[in-house]
């Protein structure tokens, strides 16, 4: 596996694939890799001849009060995991590779980025859209893969590549869950044993909304009753526009202490 640390080497490696006529899947990540990331990589290996994974904790998608400094960084472990599943390359950009003129967002996506996560984390999608556009332009992959756990992020990225004329196919992959149904997330390591017992209620309650056993406001109340400290939203929306109609996906963001969890589910 190539461990690429600068843009010149990235370009050399990328040009080599083009010369051989080989296709490339790209999985952008912020590291602290878990089975959810690895499932994206495995799908990438099916889609194309090669897979490259980037590991870059992107400062522009964190607000000053959020967890940028404490975000888990486990680079040695991440590299081993990628090596073990047969990834061809991992790219570790440095801040100047991505933000040569300073870490600032310069892309805004109207509509899909505004409700839900956009309301509670107003800086977030501009940061994600900016970094993903820059990563995609540097890697120039055939396809790029993102998990459906960040469901709104996936739709924002699809709209961003269209708006920015980036020639790539965006593929969404299903949420990976642990044995208790908790959606895998790098932030799950922040949960204490006690908080974990509450966290695993989230997918169960969303399942009840998806099966029409609970409405949004009863679900919000139930989330608070089982021990979540705060519910930013628990709502049924359209999965492409995030408007109220036609509703086909339940999405929630909840807090346990300092940890914010998100999850979502299709409505059958
Ligand atoms: O989902 C993530 O890990 C990040 O938001 C992404 C897409 C890698 C951009 O930093």
* pLDDT per position as a tens digit, 126-173: 999 999 999 999 999 999 999 999 999 999 999 999 999 999 999 999
Average pLDDT over residues 15-29: 98
Ligand 1 centroid from CA 123, angstroms: 14
CATH number of the CATH domain containing 95? 3.40.50.620
Average pLDDT over residues 3-20: 98
Please tell me whether residues 131 and 16 are part of one structural domain: yes
Average pLDDT value for the chain = 98
Q: What is the pLDDT of residue 30?
A: 98
- Which residue minimizes the CA distance to atom 5 of ligand 1? 128
Q: What is the pLDDT of residue 252?
A: 98
Residue 268 reports pLDDT greater than 90 = no
Residue 131: count other Cβ atoms within 10 Å of its Cβ. 24
Ligand 1 centroid from CA 33, angstroms: 12
Please tell me whether residues 138 and 241 are part of one structural domain: no
Q: Is the CB of 195 under 6 A from ligand 1?
A: no
- Residue 61 confidence class, pLDDT cut points 50, 70, 90: very high
Q: What is the pLDDT of residue 23?
A: 98
**For residues 241, 245, 248 and 251, what is the CA-based torsion angle, rounded to 10 degrees?**
60
Omega cis (within 30) before 246: yes
Please tell me whether residues 134 and 198 are part of one structural domain: no
Q: Is the CB of 117 under 6 A from ligand 1?
A: no
Please tell me whether residues 195 and 85 are part of one structural domain: no
Supply the residues annotated as catalytic: 37
Q: Which atom of ligand 1 is nearest to the CA of 54?
A: 8
Q: What is the pLDDT of residue 36?
A: 98
Mutate to test the pocket of ligand 1, among 124, 153, 184 (most ligand atoms within 8 A of CB): 153
Contact 137, 166 (CB under 8 A): yes
- Nearest-CA neighbor of 51 among 65, 63, 37, 64? 37
CATH number of the CATH domain containing 254? 3.30.1300.10
Please tell me whether residues 39 and 73 are part of one structural domain: yes
CA distance 52 to 45: 10
- Which residue minimizes the CA distance to atom 1 of ligand 1? 29
- Residue 240 confidence class, pLDDT cut points 50, 70, 90: very high
H or E element, residue 53: strand 50-55
- What is the distance in angstroms between the CA of the first residue and the CA of the last residue of the chain? 41
Residue 112 reports pLDDT greater than 90 = yes
- Domain containing 191 equals 186-261
Residue 187 reports pLDDT greater than 90 = yes
**236 phi, psi to nearest 5 deg:** -105, 125
For 64-109, write each residue's pLDDT tens digit: 999 999 999 999 999 999 999 999 999 999 999 999 999 999 999 9
DSSP string, 225-247: HHT-SEEEEEEEE-TTT-SSSS-
| Whole-structure pTM value | 0.97
Ligand 1 centroid from CA 129, angstroms: 9
- Residue 245 confidence class, pLDDT cut points 50, 70, 90: very high
Please tell me whether residues 66 and 8 are part of one structural domain: yes
């Amino acid at each position: 596996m190539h461990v690429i640390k600068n843009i010149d080497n990235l370009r050399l490696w990328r040009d080599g694939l083009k010369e051989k006529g080989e296709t490339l899947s790209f999985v952008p990540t912020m590291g602290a890799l878990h089975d959810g990331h690895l499932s994206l990589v495995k799908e990438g290996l099916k889609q194309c001849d090669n897979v490259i994974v980037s590991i870059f904790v992107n400062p522009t998608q964190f607000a000053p009060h959020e967890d940028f400094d404490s975000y888990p960084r486990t680079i040695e472990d991440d590299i081993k995991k990628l090596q073990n599943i047969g990834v061809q390359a991992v790219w570790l950009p440095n801040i100047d590779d991505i933000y040569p003129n300073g870490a600032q967002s310069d892309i805004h996506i109207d509509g899909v980025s505004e409700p839900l996560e956009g309301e509670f984390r107003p800086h977030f999608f501009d940061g994600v859209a900016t970094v993903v556009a820059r990563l995609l332009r540097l890697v120039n992959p055939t396809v790029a893969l993102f998990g459906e756990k960040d469901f709104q992020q996936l739709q924002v990225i699809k709209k961003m590549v269209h708006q920015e004329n980036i020639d790539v196919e965006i593929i969404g992959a299903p949420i990976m869950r642990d044995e208790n149904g908790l959606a895998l997330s790098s932030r799950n390591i922040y949960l204490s044993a006690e908080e974990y017992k509450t966290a695993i209620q989230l997918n169960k309650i969303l399942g009840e909304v998806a099966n029409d056993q609970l409405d949004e406001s009863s679900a919000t109340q139930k989330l608070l009753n089982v021990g979540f400290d705060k519910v930013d939203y628990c709502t049924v929306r359209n999965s492409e526009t995030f408007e109220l109609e036609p509703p086909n996906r339940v999405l929630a963001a909840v807090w346990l202490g300092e940890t914010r969890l998100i999850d979502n589910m299709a409505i059958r």
